[in-house]
Amino acid sequence: MARTTPTLQQWKELHEVARGIKMLAPWDYFWDENFITIQLPGREEPVYCSVMGGGGECYGIGMYPGNEALTRLLRMVHAPDSEPSFVHMFMQTCLTCYYGDREELDNEERAIIKELGVKYRGRNQWVYFRSHQEGYEPQPLDEKEAALAIDVLQNLYMALRAYLEGRIKVDFEKGETLYRWRDKKKSDQWYCAATPWPDEFPFAVDTYDIDNEEFLADMNAAKKTAQILELDWFYFPFSASALFSAFNRHKKASHFPLCFCVADMDAGRAIYRKMLGRDDDPVDFALDFLEAWIQKNGRPAKILMRGIVTGVHLLDFCQKTDIALEIEGTPLIDKSIHELMEHLDDMFGEGDDDV
C-alpha cells in the first residue's frame, strides 16, 4: 500500500506539540527507560514513550505502539555486548520525534518548515520525525502515522507537565510508570497516575500452530539426539538499494535482506546461512529446514533462538516434538555474524575519514 504524505495541518500540529515538549526539557528529568504509558481510546494496547537525551547526545521521543514494539525495544536495550547491534536495530517498530541538526532533514522537510513559518536555529534544535519499521531504513511519517504521533505527543505533553509540576509522583526505580488514560464514561476527562510496570508484556502473534498430524508423527518418529542447534533470522545491513539511498535520502526506504542462519553446538560453528527473498516467510523456511534436518539427523535436544520476537513462532512446533526451546541468545551465530562483517570490511574497506 502506498504511503500517503501527511497534510500541512498535521505537520503544523506535530511541530507545535514537539516544540511544547522541548520547552519542558524532559531529558533533564527522565532516562530512556523511564517509560510514560499512553492509553489512547480505541487502541487495545498502550503506546509506550521513551525520552531520549538524558546522556546529552541524541534528543527526542520514541513512541512504541503496543506490547510487541516495546518487547523489541527492551530486547535491544538489554542485549549483551557480544550481540551485533544491527540485528536489533532493524527489528524495531516505532515512531520518533527528533531534535537534531539542519542537515539531518531532507529538502522536503525543510520546505514544510519554511511553509509553516517555523524558525529553528542551531544544533539539536531542528524538529523532524521518523517511522522505523521492521527491515526498513527509517523514513518520514505517512498520514496515518502522523495522526497517531499527534495524539501520542499531545497526551505525552500533558503527562510530562503533570509530573514536572509535582502533581504526580512516580518512582521509576521501584518499577512504576507514568500512566495517562481517558475516562471511558467521560470522553473529555483524562487522568494521570503512577502505576506498576508489568512484569510481562504479552502480545498477539501468529505462533504457527502445527495441526498436521502426519507431519508431527513423522517428526516424533525420528530418533531423539543430544544435538543443540542455534537458529535465527535477522536483517543483513547491506543492500544495493541501501547504497543507492545514501545518495537519494528518504525518497524510497531501503528494505534490507533477511538472512536465515543455523549453528551446530557440536560443530562449534554456523553450518548454514541463506539470504531469503522478499516474499520468503522466515518461519516457513525455518520449519522446512528443521523438517529436513530431523529426517536426516534426528530430533535435536534443544534449539536456541535470540529472543521471544522470533522464538515465539517455533514454540508450538518445539512443544509438540519434545524439543526444548530457549530464547536467551545465539552465541555461535553472533560469532559467525562478527566474522562475516570483518570479512566484508576486509573486502570493501572501512572507509576513509578524509574522503
pLDDT digits (tens, 9 = 90+) for 214-243: 999 999 999 999 999 999 999 988 754 544
Q: For residues 62 and 49, is the Cβ–Cβ distance under 8 A?
A: yes
Do residues 82 and 222 both lie within one domain?
A: no
Do residues 120 and 16 both lie within one domain?
A: yes
The pLDDT tens digits for 132-161 are: 999 999 999 999 999 999 999 999 999 999
Within-domain flag for 313 = yes
Do residues 316 and 262 both lie within one domain?
A: yes
Do residues 190 and 220 both lie within one domain?
A: no
Which pLDDT score, from 0 to 100, does residue 239 have? 57
Do residues 185 and 223 both lie within one domain?
A: no
Q: Is residue 259's pLDDT more than 50?
A: yes
Within-domain flag for 55 = yes
Q: Provide the domain limits for residue 83.
A: 8-196
Q: How confident is the model at residue 355 (pLDDT cuts 50, 70, 90)?
A: very low
Do residues 315 and 166 both lie within one domain?
A: no
Task: Tell me how far apart the alpha carbons of residues 120 and 152 are, in angstroms, rounded to a whole number.
Answer: 23
Do residues 180 and 265 both lie within one domain?
A: no
Q: Is residue 248's pLDDT more than 90?
A: no
Within-domain flag for 257 = yes
b/e string for 290-324 if b means 16 or more Cβ within 10 A? Answer: beebbeeeebbeebbbbbbbbbbbbbebbebbebe
Within-domain flag for 286 = yes
- Of 164, 196, 228, the residue that ends a domain is 196
Within-domain flag for 205 = no
Which pLDDT score, from 0 to 100, does residue 276 have? 93
The mean pLDDT of 41-53, rounded to a whole number, is: 96
Do residues 224 and 85 both lie within one domain?
A: no
Do residues 319 and 188 both lie within one domain?
A: no
- Of 136, 163, 196, the residue that ends a domain is 196
The pLDDT tens digits for 178-228 are: 999 999 888 789 999 999 999 889 887 766 788 899 999 999 999 999 999
Which pLDDT score, from 0 to 100, does residue 202 have? 87
Which pLDDT score, from 0 to 100, does residue 243 have? 46
Do residues 12 and 145 both lie within one domain?
A: yes
Within-domain flag for 48 = yes
CATH number of the domain within which 251 lies: 3.30.420
Q: Is residue 350's pLDDT more than 80?
A: no
Q: Is residue 250's pLDDT more than 60?
A: no
Task: Tell me how far apart the alpha carbons of residues 217 and 273 are, in angstroms, rounded to a whole number.
Answer: 28
Which pLDDT score, from 0 to 100, does residue 197 have? 96
pTM of this prediction?
0.90
Number of domain units in the chain: 2
Within-domain flag for 26 = yes
Apex CA 58: angle with CA 329 and CA 258, to 5°? 40
Q: How confident is the model at residue 349 (pLDDT cuts 50, 70, 90)?
A: low
Q: For residues 186 and 44, is the Cβ–Cβ distance under 8 A?
A: no
3-state secondary structure of 178: strand
How is residue 257 written as a grid cell? 535482506
Do residues 335 and 283 both lie within one domain?
A: yes
The mean pLDDT of 240-265, rounded to a whole number, is: 69
- What values do phi and psi take at 182, rounded to 5? -105, 140
Which pLDDT score, from 0 to 100, does residue 238 have? 74
| Residues in a beta bridge with 113 | none
Do residues 177 and 318 both lie within one domain?
A: no
Within-domain flag for 355 = no
Average pLDDT of the chain is 91
- Of 136, 171, 196, the residue that ends a domain is 196
